[in-house]
A = this chain, B = another copy of it.
Amino acid sequence: MEGTTLAPIAQCPDCKRLNEVLSRVGDRWSVLIVASLSQYGVLRFNELKRNLGISQRMLSLTLRELERDGLVSRTYHPTIPPKVEYALTPLGESFREPVKALAMWGLENLETIDAARATYDAAAEKLPKSA
């Protein structure tokens, strides 16, 4: 049943745009990788892996996406232990600002959020639907 009264999704263009943006670079690993490269400048595959605690698969996938989207550059050195270096492109550098804004907000408000959670959970404790 697709023909219901449902509106044609995303009335506000801004939401639609934002949705697109977030679909591209809005996942945790992308942001984390950019933040990491932002801090250390140039990192190799396994350095990122160790630094972030990400699985090889997700790192590989996410790096390729970031490279595809032009935020990260990949430099392959055909030395004998092969060496691949990742760094931010200018576009990636420009992404540092919003990420920083997000991080700042988070750092400032993590405790507030934790407190709100505790309050909410405590209140929920008193209303068990059963038992």
Interface residues of A (CB under 8 A from B): 6-7, 9-12, 14-15, 17-28, 31-32, 35-36, 39, 50-53, 67-71, 91, 94-95, 97-99, 101-107, 109-110, 112-113, 115-117, 119-121
Contact = CB atoms under 8 A, between A and B. Distances in A.
B112 A70 contact: yes
Interface of A is mostly: helix
State the number of copies, please: 2
Contacts of A53: 9-10
A91 B120 contact: no
B113 A67 contact: no
Given A35-B15, A98-B98, A21 B116 contact: no
B113 A105 contact: no
